Structure 1
Amino acid sequence: MFFAKCLTALLFAITVCFFLNIGICRANPGIRVQITQKGLNYANNLALRKMYKELKNYKFPDFSKGGSTSYRLYNIKVSRVSRPRGHIALVPGQGLRWTVVIKGYRLSAKFKLKQKVLWFTIRKTFSVTMKVKRVELKFTLKPSKATNGGLKLKASRCRSKVDVNVSAKNIVLKIILKFFRRKINRIIEKKLCQSATKIINNDVSRKLARFPVTRRIKHGYFFDYGFVSNPVFTSNYMQTNHKAAILDKNKNGQFPFAPPQLPQLNENKKMIYFIISDYVLNTWLYTAYHDNQLWLKVNSKMFKKENQRAMFQTTCPNSMCIGKILPQIAEKYPNSKMEMHFTTYENPMVHFKANHVQLNVPVRAEFIVVQANGAHAKLLTAELVLFSEVKTKISGKNLLLTVSETTLTLKKIYGGAPGSFAMIAVKGALEMIVKFVESILPGQQFPLVLPSHAMLSNPTIRIVQNAIIVASDLNIKSI
């Protein structure tokens, strides 16, 4: 019946548009998402607005009945429709209960009657008006985890109630239609539930089954946000738990660490809450490390400011440069330039602490001299650990992570003549270079999975033990 397209719209508002969708999980998730009643109300209002537009132009099927007294109700058109009202309610332990009520729905149609009276057959066609005083539809939606890590949806306990008043100018037809009114009500009520249930359990479920649970991100990697458990509902929110791991180009991802336990959140001021564990970023770092992506070549060409470019000179009589910090280099390689190659020699790790994020990166730094004739000479190698604070903010649909306040611990140096380079001098040179690099490094953006037409509205961020919590309302342009 006429709810077909409308139900589809609502379901996608709840599932796909809010697809970041509880209970007790057997495995800790990388990301937990909670949608509050405020968020569900927003989805409901969007769906009802879309429903109103579609109801005005809906094409109805014909109704017919055979036998000695047969009829056909056809060419059914909408002449007036009121705005539907509806409500989505959280049902703890079950799912969502959706109720939609429409009052003041008027249709015009043709009614063709064929009736045998003794040896005569009466055939007559009339114009009729159907006033649907009230349409009410109630059913429960039960999402669950699909075999591919996606979402399945099942509708159950469907109930519908319709009150149709059919009128016509012809007195005989009025009597006939009054006789058929109860039957028409029952037919429409049955059709409503059959149609709604079929749309959800077949049409929408098939679409959800085809919805990907991985998304390509930077460097050709994939973000796997498949479910790790069935969604479960409480009286305060709809919550979903996601794997949330970064996979390599072949969608492989085996990690020697597991997600930590995330904090329980029982808030409802915002529409949606993303609870992101440090596991997600650590899978990203682990994948990039094993794919040899964590390296950086630093030289004067990276910088625009002249004083920063000058720091890479081995000879600098009128300014500060690396040759003054490490005079051995200036003596052996005058009028040359330095560059450094940084590579990770162990897997970096991120730790979410109360109010801050810390990044630990074991790094091997090679000091390379580029001579005037273009020849390269490797001078020495240092092993160190970088400790950085990571600033966080929302940029569009992404969590932007920016490195700041980097300090370092120098573990050892090798490759130069024994005793020729003091640890304190090498550490000073590295600190200077790291500070310069930190000032120009772009932030890394981590995607918060939202559909293309949905945006975060007035998001806030806070950092707690093991988790970054992003709380936000939503602004969805269309469904």
Structure 2
Amino acid sequence: MDGVLYAPILILLIIAQFSARADSDFHPILAAQVVDDDGPSRNPEPAVRVRVRPRAIHYLNQVASNLLAEQLPRLMIPNIEHRLPADQGVIKLSRIRMSRFKRAEVHDISTSAPDRITWLIKNMNIGLIGDLAGNVNILVPFDLTGEAEVLAEGLSFQIENSVHRENNGSARVTSLACHTTIRSVEVVNHNGGLFGLAVTVFKQGISDNVRTLLQGIICKKIRKYVDEDLNWKLAEVQTKSTLADAISANAIRGLSIPTPALPEELSLEKFFGPTFSRDFVIDYTLAENPVCGDNEVELSSVGEISNSGRGGTPFPPPPLNWPTIRNDESMMWVLVSDYVPNSMLYHAYKQRLIKLHIDKHTPGVSTFLKTDCGDSMCIADVIPQLSDKYPKANIELVFAATRAPAMLFSQKNQGVISINIGGVIILYVELGTQKRQEAVFDLEIVADTLLSVKQNNVSGSVRLTRFELLNRFGNLEITNAELADIALLGGQLIENMVNEMLNSGVPIPIPSVLHLDNIRINVLSRKLLIRTDFGIDERRLSRIAEKTLFASFPFGMDRSLRFHRRRW
């Protein structure tokens, strides 16, 4: 059998043999039933919790107010056709756009228990102008021509909504009540001929009717937007995302742990495979109903990472409860369970992706993987038999996991992330176009990583606390001393692998328009606590909002119209 074909088949057979001996294909601590004060948890727990706090709500109000002030004057209102009662005619208004705008004196979005979100705007002035058509028959018949401008002063509205989780895991906002008032309305007809004269004569009566009409239209349009368009967009956003998209949009990715430069072959993408970040998906859907408090909102996310988003992780997330936090004014708190990385590692293992191949083509190690050392150190210095049996040959090493690695968060020693890896290392000798297996080593590794945060930079150090290496079988008679040297070498390799995994970070669903400040990270039992302030790139947010939220809000955008704002 050709050596190129024989090698991968042999690896699969060895992995299958060791997997069959194991009681489970994941670390047993991940399946431990955790019991809290209320007894065993009956429902799956979320893996990510986010709490948006009062100072953040206040800041988001300012951002929303600026966003509305920028976007509202650009709105294009749909054509209006209003039939007067008692067959008195029809009024048609087309090409309606903003003519004047003055931002609200008060803009407030507040939350309250258990699920209420209230939006309040007070004393906003707007002017609308459009082409007039139609006819009316009030005392005498009139054909409607020219342009009609409606100037509304002191526009105020309040809409109350509730928020809950839909069956598909997206958030749904439902409007409960809406009330709009306008202090005064003035209707001006430009170039309207005889009807323009009539508008001047019956100005007060027409203005009162238009004010009543506008008050009803505003609430109707906003409630329709909340109940339909907004929820459609929420269902789009709160679904699942590939790791490639999640990491590229992750504001915390720039805070990854610095490690020594690793060869290209040891990068995370190389370790898991070139399509890993595109094939694996993180589930952002809500695990529970959103919870609102006094200007505070808490969201929970499933957080599972799996191949193609199919799920099926056999172990549950541990309970994710908030620790006691005192005297902290951070804008946002985030809890991340170690279920997030462990679900990813499990499904990567099931796809046979957790393996590492090192040979003469791997940068930085080509001289080491030789049986003829010359003046430099090589593997024959560790295993002398190799140079005796195979002078001037090249060595190939293959690592493959025999169960899913486990990443456990622990609060010992002020916070530690422990990585547990079990697998085999297979040693091949290259003989021309053939490969010969000479040894198989069984290994078990535990590495502890200590995290620290200084000036918003996360740093870490890895310490191997356990490294067990057994000579499982092969053609080499390796002494205990040689085995110890191999363990030292393997320990350095595994340490680099762990650093590389940590360096890629854990994707957290934070939009790219955010930048995080004053970050503090605490490693607790089975979870990370992240406390942070944040800022928003308002220019980028405005561009995104124009293409998404305001594309249908609640009237639509018309970029073909030029808007020249006139002073109120």
TM-score normalized by the length of structure 1: 0.80
Unaligned segments of structure 1, at least 5 residues: 1-23
Specify the alignment match of 2:210 in structure 1.
184
SS at match of 2:310: coil
Structure-to-structure mapping, 1:225-264, within 5 angstroms? 225-235=284-294, 237-249=296-308, 251-264=310-323
Specify the alignment match of 1:299 in structure 2.
359
Contact 2:112 2:295 in 1 (8 A): no
Sequence identity, in percent?
15
Deviates more, 1:122-131 or 1:359-368: 122-131
CA distance, structure 2, for counterparts of residue 402 and residue 291 of structure 1: 29
Specify the alignment match of 2:372 in structure 1.
315
Structure-to-structure mapping, 1:23-422, within 5 angstroms? 26-60=43-77, 61-62=79-80, 63-67=82-86, 69-70=88-89, 72=91, 74=93, 78-84=98-104, 85-108=106-129, 114-115=136-137, 117=139, 121=141, 130-166=150-186, 173-174=199-200, 176-211=202-237, 213-217=239-243, 218=277, 220-235=279-294, 237-249=296-308, 251-264=310-323, 269-304=329-364, 308-316=365-373, 318-354=375-411, 355-371=415-431, 373-390=432-449, 404-406=462-464, 408-416=466-474, 420-422=477-479
The Cα of 1:40 is off from its aligned counterpart by 3.3
1:121-172 C-alpha deviation (Å, 9 max, x unpaired) = 5668687654322111111232211121122221112121112232669886
Counterpart AA for 1:289 = Y
SS at match of 2:352: coil
Counterpart pick for 2:534 among 464, 473, 478: 473
| Root mean square deviation of aligned Cα | 3.5
The Cα of 1:32 is off from its aligned counterpart by 0.9
1:238-292 C-alpha deviation (Å, 9 max, x unpaired) = 1111111112236142323433434347687444433211011111111111111
CA distance, structure 2, for counterparts of residue 25 and residue 53 of structure 1: 48
The Cα of 1:26 is off from its aligned counterpart by 4.5
Unaligned segments of structure 2, at least 5 residues: 1-40, 190-195, 244-276, 546-568
SS at match of 2:320: coil
TM-score normalized by the length of structure 2: 0.69
Specify the alignment match of 2:15 in structure 1.
none
The Cα of 1:434 is off from its aligned counterpart by 3.7
Greater RCO (Cα-Cα under 8 Å, separation 6 or more): 2
Between structures 1 and 2, the one with greater helix share:
2
- Label 1:124 to 1:427 Cα distance change in 2 as closer, same or farther (>3 A): closer
- Label 1:71 to 1:328 Cα distance change in 2 as closer, same or farther (>3 A): closer
